[in-house]
Amino acid sequence: MNIKIDLPIGFPAVALESTLLCHGLPWPANYELALKINTILAEEGASPAVVALIDGLVRVGLSDSELENLCREGSKAVKVATRDMAYVLATKQLGATTVSATMWAAANAGIRLFATGGIGGVHRDGENSMDISADLVELSRTPVAVVSAGAKSILDLGRTLEYLETMGVPVVGFRTDTFPAFYVPHSPYALPCRIDDEKLVAALIHQQDDLGLPSGMLIANPIPAEYAIPAITMETWIEEALEAAEADRISGKAVTPYLLAYLHRISQGKTVEANKALVLDNVRLAARIAKEYASLRE
């Protein structure tokens, strides 16, 4: 298999996606974030496993210079979901992996925890467009637990949760009763399960293993309160972004990066700050769960 794993021995690894860095944030904010992620993981005694496709290999764990280069290339890297992997590997292009492709790589590298910002989901009007992220499919068939701040309300959160239920994916609210909406800590959508401490989340993942279920898990961790953006403000911006996307006839995998960039512009960078803060918080939580999980396995 064309996979190369470079991780230090003796530390639990946390998988990290590269689409977030290349297509979700501008240079140099993306590289600054990547360095802060490394610092937090070091503080927590865990190791970063950034996933990207480089020179025909699925890489798990990058060198400092590879990470910097990836961030500089930014949106020039191909956005790679599971279905794009074979093409980008065979043509030896630089590929930035989404949640779906990163989950595949993590599972194949023996990594159980993955931290990101927000996952993809069922888009608004998805019942007509059938724009449903491959992230949801991967969550149903790949045993990796993904820590995210829920999903942005550029998506249809209700249908996203329905889809996850149908596909047998556990959704855990970490210290929350409702599904968080990325920049906004709460939404009207109640979750089936709430857990308040890391050890119990690790026990839940361990149970999934024990049952032999193929699915991953979604751990929904609300944005820290001090970085949250008011729901009404967000809704106004999102409506505007969605209208612009329609007017510009954006479709397929270009939709999510377009909307993110649009929000960053009209919020004058406020969404970038919030985005960075929630990613770092998710990274810390994933590291803590990974450590508890490792000790359960011993």
Measured CA to CA, the distance from residue 42 to residue 84 in angstroms comes to 32
117 binds ligand PSU (CB under 6 A): yes
Q: Report the partner that residue 221 touches, choosing among Mn ion, ligand PSU, none (CB closer than 5 to 8 A by kind).
A: none
Beta carbon nearer to Mn ion, 131 or 156: 131
Q: Which is the catalytic residue, given 152, 253, 276, 291?
A: 152
**Residue 117's binding partner, choosing from ligand PSU, Mn ion, none, with beta-carbon cut-off 5 to 8 A by kind?**
ligand PSU
84 binds, among ligand PSU, Mn ion, none (CB under 5 to 8 A by kind): none
Peptide bond into 28 cis (omega under 30): yes
**Alpha-carbon distances, residue 51 vs 78, 204, 269 (angstroms):** 13, 25, 26
Q: Within 10 Å of residue 239's Cβ, how many Cβ atoms?
A: 12
Q: Is 156 in the site for Mn ion (CB under 5 A)?
A: no
**CA pair distance 190, 223, nearest whole angstrom:** 17
The yes-or-no answer on residue 79 being catalytic is no
Say if residues 283 and 37 touch (Cβ distance below 8 Å): yes
Work out whether 17 is an interface residue with ligand PSU (CB under 6 A): yes
Is residue 182 close enough to count as binding ligand PSU by CB under 6 A?
Answer: yes
Q: Contact between 85 and ligand PSU (CB under 6 A)? A: no
Angle at 218 between CA 106 and CA 295, to 5 degrees: 60
**For ligand PSU, which is the closer residue by CB, 49 or 99?**
99
The single residue among 215, 256, 271, 282 that binds ligand PSU, judged by CB under 6 A, is 256
Compute how many other C-beta atoms are within 10 angstroms of the C-beta atom of residue 42: 13
Q: Please, what's the b/e burial string for 146-162 (b: 16 or more CB within 10 A of its CB; e: otherwise)?
A: bbbbbbbbbbbbebbbe
Q: Judged by CB under 6 A, does residue 98 bind ligand PSU?
A: yes
131 binding Mn ion? (CB under 5 A) = yes
Catalytic site residues? 17, 152
Q: Which residues bind ligand PSU (CB under 6 A)?
A: 17, 19-20, 24, 81, 98-99, 117-120, 133-135, 152, 182, 253, 256, 260
